[in-house]
């Protein structure tokens, strides 16, 4: 066996919290997979009409991001690359349709079942992976990019097109979420916390399905070796009152009302 991964310096007293039922959306088996493995797939969460409307709304934003990146000398900004992978962030600020989508019943139910009764949207971004050469993408946890307390929140990776092993579906490292945030180090492709973890599992998903995983589940995506763009929309939900913590221990609330709006209060929808 290899050396166990190190904990993040701020991760000094983490205990994984299980959410008991009754559940509104997840099954008992999915709740068990969430606790034990850190992920599951919610199949066919959205119908074709809803998916088409979301894609039609996102595509123009992504086109502008691509055009911006192409105007840079190397076509890149941090890990975004005009010809490989783009990130269109905080779309709920600009789109009433996407704001309503992120506050809709599917995500409210998942947030209730897996986070708690008082929940905010924490982050939203579209990730379009273009046809590319085979390359390694770093294993990371979402909480390794920006450290949030409580560390345990919810990531919903919505497949806007079929996500396959060939076009860059997610891969996860099951079970490591239960130890909290790991130490990450910077690479030229972003933060990384693991090298080739044992038990790495591909998670393909049909268009309209959601790969549901914890902010603490180490994951990556494979290269897109097909001629078509793989499209995904990622939305994340954190407990109301969550705070963004800096390395020096200072913090600020994660409650920017324009993009981190509350979706549940005492288990009920927030208008």
- Nearest 5°: the CA angle 148, 144, 157 is 85
- Closest by CA to 231, choosing from 154, 97, 125, 140, is 125
> Domain 29-269 carries which CATH code?
2.60.120.620
Per-residue CA distances from 49 to 94, 160, 191, 216 (Å): 21, 12, 36, 32
Q: Domain coordinates of the chain in residue numbers?
A: 29-269
Neighbours of 145 (CB within 10 A): 13
Q: Which pLDDT score, from 0 to 100, does residue 137 have?
A: 86
Question: Using CA atoms, how far apart are residues 179 and 11, in angstroms rounded to an integer?
Answer: 9
In a 3-state reduction of DSSP, which class is residue 242? coil
**What is d(CA 31, CA 25) in angstroms, rounded to the nearest whole number?**
10
Read off the pLDDT of each residue in 104-114 and give the average, rounded to a whole number: 98
Does 155 have pLDDT greater than 70? yes
The pTM of the whole model exceeds 0.95: yes
Region 166-184: what's the mean pLDDT?
98
Q: Can you tell me the distance from the alpha carbon of 168 to that of 143, in angstroms, rounded to the nearest whole number?
A: 21
Arithmetic mean of pLDDT, 22-36: 98
Buried b / exposed e over 116-138, threshold 16 CB at 10 Å, is bebbbbbbbbbbbbbbeeeeebb
């Amino acid at each position: 066996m290899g050396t166990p991964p190190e904990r993040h310096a701020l991760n000094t007293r983490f205990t994984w919290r299980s959410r008991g039922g009754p559940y509104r959306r997840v099954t008992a088996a999915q709740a068990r997979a969430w606790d034990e493995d850190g992920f599951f797939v919610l199949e066919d969460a959205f119908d074709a009409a809803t998916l088409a409307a979301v894609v039609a709304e996102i595509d123009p934003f992504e086109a502008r991001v691509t055009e911006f990146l192409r105007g840079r000398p190397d076509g890149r900004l941090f890990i975004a690359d005009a010809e490989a992978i783009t990130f269109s962030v905080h779309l709920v600020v600009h789109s009433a349709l996407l704001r309503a989508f992120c506050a809709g019943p599917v995500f409210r139910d998942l947030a209730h079942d897996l986070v708690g009764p008082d929940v905010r949207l924490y982050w939203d971004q579209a990730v379009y992976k273009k046809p590319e050469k085979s390359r390694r993408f770093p294993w990371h946890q979402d909480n390794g990019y920006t450290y949030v307390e409580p560390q345990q929140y919810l990531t919903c990776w919505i497949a806007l097109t079929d996500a396959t092993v060939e076009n860059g579906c997610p891969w996860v490292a099951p079970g490591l979420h239960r130890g909290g945030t790991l130490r990450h180090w910077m690479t030229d492709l972003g933060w990384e916390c693991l090298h080739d973890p044992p038990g790495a599992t591909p998670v393909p998903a049909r268009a309209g399905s959601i790969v549901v995983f914890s902010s603490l589940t180490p994951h990556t995506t494979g290269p897109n070796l097909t001629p078509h763009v793989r499209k995904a929309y990622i939305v994340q939900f954190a407990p109301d009152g969550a705070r963004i913590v800096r390395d020096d221990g200072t913090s600020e609330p994660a409650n920017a009302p324009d993009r981190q709006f509350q979706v549940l209060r005492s288990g009920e929808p927030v208008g």
